Amino acid sequence: MKKINRFYTGLITMTLSFSLLGLANAESFLDSPSLFDDSGSFNFADSNTNSGDNSFYKDDGSLVIIRGAKDSGLIVRGTDEGTETEYYVIPKDDGSKTFIYDEGLTVCDSNGCY
C-alpha cells in the first residue's frame, strides 16, 4: 500500500471515529433534563410537584399561570353552542400563598384572595 493511501485511510478512520464519538455525546446530552423540562432543576417546578403548578391558554389566547396551589386544572364543558373552558384553583391547606396570573396578579392565602 502506498504511503498516500495509508494517510487517507487513517484520515477517514479518524474522521469517522470522531463523528461517532460526537454523536454518542450528543445523544447523552439530549437525554438529560434541560431548561424546558418539567423535572429540570432550572425550572420553577420542583421534581415532586403535583398539578398545583400549571400554565395554560384560555379560549381567547391569553396565558394563565398558577403557582403554589394544592391543585389546579381545566374544566371543559360541552354546550349546544360549543365548548366552554374554565380553570379551577384549590389553595394549599397550610395557608401559604397561591399566585394566579390571569389579566393581572391574584394572590390567595388563608385570609382570602386579593
- C-alpha dihedral over 63, 89, 79, 60, to 10 degrees? -10
Phi/psi for 37 (5° steps) reads -85, 145
Name the nearest CA neighbour of 59 among 79, 43, 44, 45. 79
Residue type, 97: K
Whether pLDDT at 50 is above 60: no
pLDDT averaged over the chain?
75
- 83-113 pLDDT, tens digit per residue, is 888 888 888 888 889 999 988 999 988 888 8
Retrieve residue 95's grid coordinates.
395557608
Percent of the residues in the chain that have a pLDDT greater than 90, as a whole number: 9
Retrieve residue 1's grid coordinates.
500500500
Name the nearest CA neighbour of 84 among 54, 65, 103, 58. 58
The pTM of the full predicted model, rounded to 2 decimals, is 0.51
